[in-house]
């Protein structure tokens, strides 16, 4: 299959740079909504069929393959079976954790996380949150999910101001996402995580694919990296839930299935060279 062309000049130049010198390229991927289709229960997430095989193919050609996720690194690794990908780096908790060569490295979470852990269930009860509201305790952060309520958007609207107030009291930040609001430590985002990794790996070109609001800082980092001479391509795994990411992307693919196809096309294009 011919490769789909990014809609921007910068995106086309970056794809060309990846194909011309793949050993210097870094490709990084969000997990939920990008490598894994969205499902009602986050504990049952699984990669789109065949997409991890595409990463395995690319790992033999590209300099660096990474996953940058809001999940704990070991959760993404387990759900995704990502340790099949040779040399993969998994940056968890928006970059606060790193899994590499079988080991997770992370600093201790700030005390505000324990405060939220003790107060959040009481708060949710006191607000009479609808049935299906679910707290995901991720260790370094807590996320309140509404996807399994009768009206997920309305539930988020009810909860949002109260969660913001709790986050502020705990010294944490609020991270909104697809039918979820997360309370997490300050000081790191996917943009900083991606930039630091590009520097560390001395990458000559970067590709980043994501689907949610938490991926926009990584898209901004790609834009900044271009000004320093590193060509960059942003890919949106699109959904009707978040349209801002498609607006910011050089290339839009229809969800994780579309990304799997695109990665297969990239591997084919590399094999033709
Ligand atoms: O950075 P990501 O890898 O995209 O992680 C972001 C959040 O993903 C998960 O929630 C999302 O996916 C769930 C499973 O498909 C879905 O049920 C939920 O509605 C989505 O928001 C995860 O549970 C969160 O902890 C991550 O922060």
Give this complex's ipTM: 0.99
Residue at 67 is within a domain: yes
pLDDT score of 8:
98
Nearest CA residue ID for atom 13, ligand 1? 42
- The reply to whether 70 and 156 lie within a common domain is no
With both helix axes pointing from N to C terminus, report the angle between 216-227 and 190-200 in degrees, rounded to the nearest 10. Answer: 40
Q: Is 93 in the pocket of ligand 1 (CB under 6 A)?
A: no
- The reply to whether 61 and 133 lie within a common domain is no
- 210: tokens are 């994501």
Residue at 2 is within a domain: no
- The reply to whether 51 and 80 lie within a common domain is yes
Contacts of 37 (CB under 8 A, 6+ apart): 48, 255, 256, 257
- The pTM of the whole model exceeds 0.80: yes
Q: Is 149 in the pocket of ligand 1 (CB under 6 A)?
A: no
- The reply to whether 56 and 161 lie within a common domain is no
Q: Is 212 in the pocket of ligand 1 (CB under 6 A)?
A: yes
Q: Of all atoms in ligand 1, which is nearest to the CA of residue 33?
A: 4
Q: Which of 137, 161, 184 is the last residue of a domain?
A: 184
Residue at 80 is within a domain: yes
Q: Identify the CATH number of the domain in which residue 249 sits.
A: 3.40.50.1000
Nearest CA residue ID for atom 23, ligand 1? 42
Q: How far is residue 81's CA from residue 203's CA, in Å, rounded to a whole number?
A: 25
pLDDT score of 107:
86
Q: Is 179 in the pocket of ligand 1 (CB under 6 A)?
A: yes
- The reply to whether 75 and 49 lie within a common domain is yes
Q: Is 146 in the pocket of ligand 1 (CB under 6 A)?
A: no
Residue at 1 is within a domain: no
- The reply to whether 228 and 246 lie within a common domain is yes
Residue at 96 is within a domain: yes
Q: ∠ CA(80), CA(136), CA(197), 5° rounding?
A: 50
Count of alpha carbons within 13 Å of 239, Cβ hemisphere only?
A: 19
Residue at 73 is within a domain: yes
Could you give the 3-state DSSP secondary structure of residue 65?
strand
Name the residue of 30, 40, 42 to mutate for ligand 1: max ligand atoms within 8 A of Cβ: 42
Contact 194, 68 (CB under 8 A): yes
If you measure from the C-alpha of residue 74 to the centroid of ligand 1, how many angstroms do you get, rounded to a whole number? 14
- The reply to whether 155 and 68 lie within a common domain is no
If you measure from the C-alpha of residue 32 to the centroid of ligand 1, how many angstroms do you get, rounded to a whole number? 5
- The reply to whether 88 and 74 lie within a common domain is yes
Contact 222, 5 (CB under 8 A): no
Contact 53, 32 (CB under 8 A): no
pLDDT score of 23:
98
Contact 205, 25 (CB under 8 A): yes
Q: Is 57 in the pocket of ligand 1 (CB under 6 A)?
A: no
Q: Of all atoms in ligand 1, which is nearest to the CA of residue 39?
A: 15
Q: How far is residue 225's CA from residue 110's CA, in Å, rounded to a whole number?
A: 30
The residues carrying an active-site annotation are: 30
Q: Would you give per-residue pLDDT tens digits along the chain (273 residues)?
A: 789 999 999 999 999 999 999 999 999 999 999 999 999 999 999 999 999 999 999 999 999 999 999 999 999 999 999 999 999 999 999 999 999 999 999 988 999 999 999 999 999 999 999 999 999 999 999 999 999 999 999 999 999 999 999 999 999 999 999 999 999 999 999 999 999 999 999 999 999 999 999 999 999 999 999 999 999 999 999 999 999 999 999 999 999 999 999 999 999 999 998
Q: Of all atoms in ligand 1, which is nearest to the CA of residue 67?
A: 3
- The number of domains in the chain is 2
- The reply to whether 124 and 170 lie within a common domain is yes
Q: Which of 128, 155, 184 is the last residue of a domain?
A: 184
- The reply to whether 94 and 156 lie within a common domain is no
Residue at 99 is within a domain: yes
Helix, strand, coil percentages in the chain from 3-state DSSP, rounded to 5: 45, 20, 35
| Nearest in space to 264 (alpha carbons), one of 86, 28, 50, 29 | 50
- The reply to whether 15 and 97 lie within a common domain is yes
- The reply to whether 15 and 93 lie within a common domain is yes
Residue at 4 is within a domain: no
pLDDT score of 273:
87
Sign of CA pseudo-dihedral 185, 233, 236, 245 = positive
Q: Which of 133, 166, 184 is the last residue of a domain?
A: 184
- pLDDT single digits (tens) 61-116: 999 999 999 999 999 999 999 999 999 999 999 999 999 999 999 988 999 999 99
Q: Identify the CATH number of the domain in which residue 177 sits.
A: 3.30.70
Q: How far is residue 139's CA from residue 184's CA, in Å, rounded to a whole number?
A: 10
pLDDT score of 2:
82
Q: Of all atoms in ligand 1, which is nearest to the CA of residue 44?
A: 14
Q: Is 202 in the pocket of ligand 1 (CB under 6 A)?
A: no
Tell me the residue range of the domain where 217 lies: 9-104+188-272
If you measure from the C-alpha of residue 136 to the centroid of ligand 1, how many angstroms do you get, rounded to a whole number? 10
């Amino acid at each position: 299959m011919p490769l789909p062309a990014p809609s921007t000049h910068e995106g086309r130049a970056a794809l060309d740079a990846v194909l011309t010198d793949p050993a210097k390229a870094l490709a990084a991927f969000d997990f939920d909504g990008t490598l894994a289709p969205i499902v009602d229960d986050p504990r049952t997430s699984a990669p789109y069929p065949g997409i991890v095989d595409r990463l395995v193919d690319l790992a033999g050609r590209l300099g660096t393959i990474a996953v940058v996720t809001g999940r704990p690194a070991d959760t993404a690794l387990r759900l995704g079976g990502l340790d099949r990908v040779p040399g993969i780096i998994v940056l968890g908790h928006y970059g606060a954790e790193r899994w590499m060569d079988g080991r997770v490295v992370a600093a201790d979470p700030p005390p505000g996380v324990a405060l939220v852990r003790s107060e959040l269930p009481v708060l949710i009860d006191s607000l009479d949150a609808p049935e299906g509201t679910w707290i995901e305790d991720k260790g370094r952060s807590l996320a309140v999910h509404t996807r399994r309520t009768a009206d997920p958007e309305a539930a988020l609207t009810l909860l949002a101001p109260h969660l913001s107030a709790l986050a502020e009291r705990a010294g944490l930040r609020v991270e909104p996402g697809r039918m979820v609001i997360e309370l997490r430590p300050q000081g790191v985002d996917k943009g900083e995580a991606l930039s630091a990794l590009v520097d560390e790996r001395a990458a000559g070109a970067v590709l980043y694919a994501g689907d949610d609001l938490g991926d926009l800082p990584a898209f901004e980092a790609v834009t900044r990296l271009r000004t320093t001479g590193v060509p960059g391509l942003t890919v949106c795994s699109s959904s009707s839930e978040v349209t801002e990411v498609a607006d910011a992307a050089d290339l839009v693919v229809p969800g994780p299935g579309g990304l799997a196809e695109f990665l297969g096309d990239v591997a084919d294009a590399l094999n033709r060279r």
